[in-house]
Amino acid sequence: MAAVEPLQVCVKEAAGVPGVPGDCPFCQRVLLSLEEKHLPYEAKLVNLSDKPQWFLEISPEGKVPVLKWGDKWVPDSDVITQLIEEKYPDPPLVTPPEYASVGSKIFSSFIKFLKSKDPSDGSEQALVDELKVLDEHLKAHGPYIGGENVTAADLSLGPKLYHMEIALGHFKSWTIPKDLVHVHNYMELLFSRESFVKTKAAKEYVITGWAPKVNA
């Protein structure tokens, strides 16, 4: 196989800690795709609270992740992971179309519950309901969303579940109900993958990253 030029990708730097990857689940999703495809890459860490000029020139909206693709910089983790899949189809990470939306409402439900100041607003139950749907899917089709092998849906959902577990544990002393056995097993399976261990943000940076949203 011909040597592949390392892909350049801009990702979030940990707040106040130069040189250390930060807590962006969308950045981790892209890094997971690159790791699972065994593609060489160079991660450029960006301080999002003091964005350097070179970064604003390639990402005028100041958002990460952005990936250099040919002579262009491409934003949006959905677009980036699709490009990677099309150009580097092996190993395949395509999620069966009928399972592509599994777990897609968990992240927004988590954020709503995290920011909630009213215990009776139903946001906790809404999150539990979404996790139950995931649990039932995994029970029938697991261990991963698409079956035996990890796919793009797992690489998207995994970082969000990681953030959810840490942030709700820290700010609300909340844990995923024990009876959602398949969700617990799924998270353990995903979080122990070599690609995940290598690309995840440290727990303290995840907490720091969510603090402003909790206190808003």
- Catalytic residue numbers read 24
Instruction: Give how far Cα 4 sits from Cα of 37, 65, 199, Å.
Output: 12, 21, 20
For the four alpha carbons of 56, 61, 64 and 69, in that order, the dihedral sign comes to negative
Helical spans, DSSP H, in the chain: 25-36, 53-58, 77-87, 106-115, 123-141, 152-172, 181-191, 194-199, 203-215
Tokens of 140: 């029938």
Residue 178 per-residue DSSP state: T
Contact in structure between 93 and 85 (CB atoms under 8 Å): yes
Query: Can you tell me the distance from the alpha carbon of 139 to that of 135, in angstroms, rounded to the nearest whole number?
Result: 6
Short-list 73, 1, 12, CA closest to 37: 1
